[in-house]
Structure 1
Amino acid sequence: MSDDVTIEPATADDRLDVLRVFDAAMLSVDVDGLDERIHADDVLVARSDRTEAVVGALVVTRPEPTRRHVDAVAVRRERRARGIGSALVATAVRHAERDPAVDRVSAAFDRSLEAFYGDLGFDVTAEPPRERSERLTSGELNDGEYIGDDRIGDSRIGDDRAGDDRTDDRTGDDRTADDGRLWGVRRVSTRADP
């Protein structure tokens, strides 16, 4: 990653800059819930050390107590291909590792982002994860292989390795593997803060 960028939690003062970064990448985020996400430290920014401008942003959701979901990642066009998007996702994973209740981070994304998430340690599959209640009923949670569910929608990215500049938000759609989407899950080993 470029050494002139710092990844840190967004502040209330960053709200407009975060929205501008996502808008420039043609990504939509839950504007009404953004303040709550910022307050919960679920929005990260990549800030230029030289200008203090927000050059990238990431939003995490909490669809269930044991999982964090990368909802959207965007990096300003002129700052792409420098590892900023990877640093944002890696930081989100590290934050999840600090919460002892969290055992995984998930994302749903276009096929063009398979290498991006794979390089970050996400197990990528074309099969949509089943809901937790389905896996509890079937007993699959006992084998330690639960990978979350798909209720929260897609991760969208406008970032360094994305073949194009945007993916569309189809939150709530009933998707199958045939629509070109992939799902990724990264298990985290939780640890207490030092």
Structure 2
Amino acid sequence: MTVRPATPDEHLSVMRIVNAAMLETDASEVKERIEEETVLVAEEENRILGTAVLDPRDSGTHIDAIAVLRARRGQGIGRELVETARERLGRLTAEFDPKVRPFYESLGFDIESVEDREERLLGTLEREH
């Protein structure tokens, strides 16, 4: 498996994976992020298995969406996407639903509640030294 920046011609594949995971993303924003090389894809044998849509910010890079094909979940693809993002971009943050907390905890994210939003959590993963 290889993790690399998505190319513009992979926009539709990226959107299909994100939409299948029922994540809210704006297609035009994803297209812009692909052009900025802040969308990663995990591929194997020329098939995209997962994607991470990233948003570089002053406080670090925010994971807007991370999604893996349903049939390939639990195989370390999401982990590889996050680890590659951290290697490339440093400090990561993510806001997520409590049901995916174990995924973020397993990657070493420090997790706290989001103010005024009981159903959301915020995770932070510092750059490795």
Q: What is the SS of the residue equivalent to 1:126? A: strand
What residue ranges of structure 2 are gaps of 5+ in the alignment? none
Q: Greater CA radius of gyration, 1 or 2?
A: 1
Q: Percent identity?
A: 39
Determine the C-alpha separation between the residues in 2 that align with 1:79 and 1:127.
Answer: 30
Determine the C-alpha separation between the residues in 1 that align with 2:123 and 2:24.
Answer: 20
Cross-structure match for 2:54: 60
- TM-score, length of structure 1 as denominator length: 0.62
Check if 1:69 corresponds to 2:62. yes
1:189 is displaced (CA, Å) by 4.7
| Cα deviations by residue, 1:14-38 (Å, 9 ceiling, x for unpaired) | 1110011112112221211122201
Which amino acid letter does the alignment assign opposite residue 50 of structure 2? G
Determine the C-alpha separation between the residues in 2 that align with 1:10 and 1:17.
Answer: 10
1:127 is displaced (CA, Å) by 4.4
Q: How many residues align?
A: 129
Q: Which of the pair has the greater relative contact order for Cα pairs under 8 Å at 6+ separation?
A: 1
> As a proportion of its length, which structure holds more strand?
2
**Alignment RMSD (CA, Å):** 1.6
- TM-score, length of structure 2 as denominator length: 0.90
Determine the C-alpha separation between the residues in 2 that align with 1:46 and 1:66.
Answer: 25
Determine the C-alpha separation between the residues in 2 that align with 1:26 and 1:127.
Answer: 21
> As a proportion of its length, which structure holds more helix?
2
Check if 1:117 corresponds to 2:116. no
